[in-house]
Chain A
Amino acid sequence: MGYRPGNSGPSTASNSLRILETVARLGTGTTAKEISDALQMAPATVYRMVNALVGDEYLVRTADLRGFALGHAISGLIAAATPPNISTAARSEIEKFRTGNRFPVHLILIQNASLKIADDDPDYPLQMKFEVMRYPHASAAGKLMLAHLDESARPFLKGPLAEVTRHTITNRSVLEKQLVEIRVAGQATEINELEEGSSCLALPVNLPNGPVQAALCLSGPSERFSAICERAEAARVTATRLAPLIF
Chain B
Amino acid sequence: MLETEEAGVTDEPQLRAASVLRLGSLPGSLSWLIRECREPVCTSESWFLVSARGDRFISSRSPVEGLNRRKLSFLPVFAQAVAAVAPAGAMAVIPALVFPAFARGSAAPNLVVTFGAAMALMVLVSFCLRPMAKRMAAVSGLYSYTAKGLGQRAAITAGWSAIFGYGLVAMAGLLAVGTYADQILVNLGVGLAEPKLSMVLAIFIAMGAAWYLMVRGIQISAWFTLTMECISIGLLTVLMIVYFSLNAPAVSFDSVFAWSGDSDSLWIGIVVAVSAFVGFESAATLGGEAHKPFISVPRTLTWTPVLAGTLYLLAAISQDLALAEAPLAIMTSSTPLSDLFAQTSPLFAAVLDLGIAASWFACTIASLSALVRILFCMGREGVAPRLAGRIHAVHQTPSSAIMVVMPIVAIVPLVVIVSGASPEQGLVILFTLGAYGYLGAYLLASASLPFFLRRIGEDTYSSWILGALTPLVLGFMLWKATSVSILTGSLQAFVYAGVLLISIAYSTILKVRSPERLSSVGIYDETVDADLYRGGSN
Please report A residues at the B interface, Cβ cutoff 8 Å: 27-33, 43-44, 47, 51, 54-57, 60-67, 69-72, 74-75, 78
Contacts and interface: CB of A to CB of B under 8 A. Distances in A.
A71 B533 contact: yes
Nearest to B33: A63
A33 B457 contact: yes
A32 B535 CA distance: 22
Contact of B527 (A55, A56, A69, A75): A69
A27 B536 CA distance: 18
A62 B537 CA distance: 19
Interface in B520-538: 526-527, 530-538
Tell me the interface secondary structure of chain B in the complex: loop
A29 B52 contact: yes
Nearest to B460: A44
B294 interface: yes
B134 A60 contact: no
A51 B52 CA distance: 22
B533 A75 contact: yes
Contact of A60 (B29, B57, B58): B58
Contact of B51 (A29, A32, A51, A56): A29
Interface string B122-159: 00000000000011100000000000100000000000
Closest 8 CB pairs of A and B: A29-B51, A29-B56, A70-B533, A62-B56, A67-B56, A55-B294, A29-B53, A60-B527
B295 A56 contact: yes
Interface size of B as a range: 35 or more
Given A44-B460, A54-B135, A75 B51 contact: no
Contacts of A29: 51-54, 56
Of A51, A61, A70, A71, which is in contact with the most chain B CB atoms at under 10 Å from its CB?
A: A61
Contacts of B526: 63
A134 B52 CA distance: 48
B134 A62 contact: no
A60 B460 contact: no
15 contacts: A28-B52, A28-B56, A32-B458, A47-B458, A54-B134, A62-B51, A62-B527, A63-B58, A64-B456, A65-B135, A65-B456, A66-B455, A72-B531, A72-B537, A72-B538
A60 B532 contact: yes
A67 B135 CA distance: 11
B515 to A, nearest CB: 20
Contact of A63 (B27, B294, B458): B27
A54 B458 CA distance: 14
Interface in B406-439: none
A57 B53 contact: no
Given A29-B53, A60-B527, A66 B533 contact: no
Contacts of B242: none
Contacts of B58: 28, 60, 62-63, 69
A43 B537 CA distance: 34
A67 B56 CA distance: 7
Nearest to B51: A29
B396 interface: no
Given A44-B460, A64-B27, A64-B456, A31 B530 contact: no
A13 B78 CA distance: 28
B49 A75 contact: no
Contact of A66 (B29, B456, B531, B535): B456
A28 B535 CA distance: 13
B57 A72 contact: no
Interface in B98-135: 134-135
B59 interface: yes
Of A30, A47, A65, A72, which is in contact with the most chain B CB atoms at under 10 Å from its CB?
A: A65
Contacts of B460: 43-44, 47
Nearest to A34: B53
A153 B201 CA distance: 56
Interface string B289-323: 00010110010000000000000000000000000
Of B55, B58, B527, B538, which is in contact with the most chain A CB atoms at under 10 Å from its CB?
A: B527
A33 B530 CA distance: 26
B134 A55 contact: yes
A60 B51 CA distance: 13
A74 B534 CA distance: 9
A61 B135 contact: yes
A70 B54 CA distance: 18
Given A62-B57, A75-B534, 11 more contacts: A29-B51, A51-B294, A57-B294, A60-B527, A63-B59, A65-B455, A66-B456, A67-B56, A69-B527, A72-B537, A72-B538
Nearest to B135: A65
A55 B292 contact: yes
Contacts of B455: 65-66
Interface string B51-86: 111111111000000000000000000000000000
B458 A67 contact: no
Interface in B450-469: 455-458, 460
